[in-house]
Amino acid sequence: MGKALEGVRVLDMTHVQSGPSSTQLLAWLGADVIKLEAPGQGDITRSQLRDIPGVDSLYFTMLNANKRSITLNMKHPEGKEIFTKLVSGVDILVENFGPGVVERFGFPWERLQEINPGLVYASIKGFGPGRYADFKAYEVIAQAMGGAMSTTGFEDGPPTATGAQIGDSGTGIHLVAGILAALYQRTRTGRGQRVQVAMQDAVLNLCRVKLRDQQRLAHGPLGEYPNENFGDAVPRSGNASGGGQPGWAVRCAPGGPNDYIYVIIQPVGWKPICDLIGRPELAEDPAWSTPQARLHKLDKAFALIEEWTERHTKQEVMERLNACNVPCGPVLSTAELIEDETLAALGSVVEVDHPERGPFKTVGNPIKLSDSTVEIERSPLLGEHTEQVLGELGFTEQGIGDLRAAGVI
């Protein structure tokens, strides 16, 4: 059946995480992604957080699967000529440099349009136009300025970053949506366009329920939150769901750092929970039997549940609660996830062999298409495909040798 994006070519000028997470998804979906890197060093993450000396780090290999790599000196006049040829033959150009870097190479959007009117030019920046436009951004800066940190953590603790990379990879996923929309629109117009996603905007989009609650505060305290005091902003509320169905993480046996399970109390779930924990009388007690009655003593409700869960492992609790149709999920550590047989069978965690570092595990493609299967391939070595790609542009072996000698590639 082929791949969903078969025939689509991407010139990938991204680095670190936000951009590579986006282009890796495009590669998984079948696009030919050509990663353009500086000669000698390449993407800085090749050497960051190394666990094995002298080889590409897991940071790099887990964000650059299924791509080809070429090296090109963008400051060299001949490098600029090669870049122009590359741009003329691709569908998508993706970059996440700081503001103005591509322009300083001599390729503003207007010039790129001249080279390739059908080009979809996609960029990730920390912030949109305006006050913050020239500021640098990293993962947790985006979380801080997008609403995540102020609403994550416990009421008596500091603002807290989430372990999920919503600032970087979250923005990358948003960019993929924009790229695919622009490609689809091009089928009708024949024209390419700019696609821009700011990290702050992406995090804010993921925090929309907190803006919902910010406006609800105008009408009084938020009853679904466990907090006693409410100021002029949505507070940190620990593990409370903050939604229509209350939830909390309760401790399980044997009491290790991740021996917890998250339990949701739906209205229909209260009776089976009461039966399970040995307190069937609470299902009929007017002081406990309705969501409204429980709303202001959810801490006590979950304490009752925890008295039972502490006597069982999180896997045992999961099995017994699910048997009663009570939503729950054990807190799975990274050690558990990487060895999870179900995730391996689904292709959510896969093992990949690498010519220098050997086999390692990485995440698989979370997007499952019925007619476009995905095989996770290793990341490229630095410049591994330079000769191949230049050959596709018409360069001879002698010409490629001359470019290498001149420091162009």
CA distance 109 to 281: 69
Binding-site residues for CoA sit at 17-18, 72-75, 96-98, 104, 136-139
Which residue of the set 32, 168, 201, 259 is catalytic? 168
Cross-sheet strand order for the sheet of 32-37 = 67-71, 32-37, 9-12, 92-95, 120-125, 194-198
Closest CA to 161 of 171, 152, 173: 152
Cβ atoms of 148 and 162 closer than 8 Å? yes
- 3-state helix/strand/coil string of 183-249: HHHHHHHCCCCEEEEEHHHHHHHHCHHHHHHHHHHHHCCCCCCCCCCCCCCCCCCCCCCCCCCCEEE
- DSSP at 16: T
3-state secondary structure of 129: coil
Work out the number of other CB atoms within 10 angstroms of the CB of residue 379.
25
Token pair in block for residue 287: 């002081």
The DSSP secondary structure of 54-112, one letter per residue, reads TS--HHHHTT-TTEEEEE--TTSHHHHHHHHHHHHT-SEEEE-PSTTHHHHTT--HHHH
Binding-site residues sit at 17-18, 72-75, 96-98, 104, 136-139, 243-245
For residue 168, indicate whether it is catalytic: yes
Cα dihedral across residues 367, 368, 372, 375: positive or negative: positive
Catalytic residues, which ones? 168
